[in-house]
């Protein structure tokens, strides 16, 4: 499918609290290095090309960018690239960031932030982005632990005006239920892809839809179900067949399937390549048939990843 004229608006919109965003957004993690892993053995992307990608994304109608202060490599910081490329920011641009994980200056992972550490993480995001408040802050979790203390600390920062809206990342249904009495949740960002799903993730998708919460999958294109084994071959064959029928790429098909999981589902594919960016945004206009969507959904079931 063509990628030169389609904009992110083709996917429709959703509201994060009082902020309206196009459902096709952009994830900034890949801007800092050649590859998705947050490690120090990756080749940093060219800085000028990263800035070009960000500006082109906005030109293509992207007004929702996902980032984090811990998205950095030895030579690049996603937040500072965003600040350099897009500041002063367009009025309609919504920047979502995350707190919770900690990384030292050399990139080594530190202990998960305690409630009293979260103010510092929020202030670091503010500094890097050049903002006086953050549009949306997701609390990133690392397992099924209670979130009350940490989410409560962010709720206090929201009352102070440092944060406009709150979200969650890598959480289950019980953690969402725990957060809601503390403060409104506008989005949940979890791993979710054609063959990287579970009964729990489907439950979170459903709960978010019922409560008007945006569900924001990460790794929607490169779901880990495609990495090895017979299931991967079956998935690739099926995705490739659907892609051929639409004159589209497999990545575009995966993004289209993601968006068709519900009107509350947002996509945040990331890339440091301008051509891949245009291709990803063009997927906003791709509409799969009911049969195609069903076929792709069943791939996760065939792989034994959806109960």
* Cα-based torsion angle of the residue sequence 245, 247, 251, 256 in order, rounded to the nearest 10 degrees: -70
Cite the active site residues: 71
* Tokens, residue 138: 């997701």
In the chain, which ranges are E strands?
Answer: 13-16, 19-22, 26-27, 64-66, 94-99, 102-103, 109-110, 134-140, 163-169, 187-191, 214-218
Contact 32, 73 (CB under 8 A): yes
Q: Identify the CA nearest to 180 among candidates 303, 171, 277, 222.
A: 171
**Three-class SS state of 196:** strand
Task: Give the residue from 43, 20, 10 showing the smallest Cα distance to 252.
Answer: 10
Instruction: Give me the phi and psi of 164, to 5 degrees please.
Output: -90, -45
Contact present, 245 and 194 (Cβ < 8 Å): no
**Alpha carbon distance 117, 142 (integer Å):** 16
Give the span between the Cα atoms of 101 and 300, in whole angstroms.
Answer: 29
């Amino acid at each position: 499918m063509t990628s030169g004229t389609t904009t992110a608006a083709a996917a429709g919109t959703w509201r994060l609290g009082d902020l309206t965003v196009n459902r096709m957004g952009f994830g900034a993690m890949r801007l800092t290095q050649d590859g998705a892993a947050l490690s120090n053995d990756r080749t940093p992307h060219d800085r000028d090309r990263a800035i070009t990608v960000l500006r082109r994304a906005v030109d293509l109608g992207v007004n929702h960018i996902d980032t984090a202060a811990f998205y950095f490599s030895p030579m690049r910081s996603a937040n500072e690239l965003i600040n350099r490329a897009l500041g002063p920011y367009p009025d309609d641009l919504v920047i979502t960031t995350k707190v919770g994980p900690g990384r030292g200056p050399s990139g080594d992972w530190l202990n998960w932030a305690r409630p009293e550490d979260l103010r510092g993480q929020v202030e670091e995001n503010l500094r890097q982005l050049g903002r006086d408040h953050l549009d949306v802050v997701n609390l990133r979790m690392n397992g099924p632990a209670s979130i009350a203390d940490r989410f409560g600390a962010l709720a206090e920062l929201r009352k102070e005006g440092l944060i406009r809206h709150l979200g969650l990342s890598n959480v289950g249904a019980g953690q969402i239920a725990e957060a809601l009495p503390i403060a409104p949740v506008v989005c949940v960002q979890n791993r979710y892809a054609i063959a990287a799903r579970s009964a729990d993730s489907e439950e979170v998708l459903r709960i978010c839809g019922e409560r008007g919460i945006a569900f924001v999958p990460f790794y929607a294109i490169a779901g880990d179900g495609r990495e090895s084994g017979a299931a991967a071959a079956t998935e690739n064959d099926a995705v490739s067949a659907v892609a051929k029928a639409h004159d589209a790429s497999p990545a575009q098909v995966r993004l289209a399937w993601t968006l068709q999981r519900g009107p509350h589902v947002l996509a945040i594919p990331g890339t440091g390549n301008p051509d891949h960016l245009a291709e990803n945004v063009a997927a906003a206009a791709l509409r799969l048939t009911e049969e195609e969507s069903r076929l792709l959904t069943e791939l996760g079931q065939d792989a034994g990843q959806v109960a």
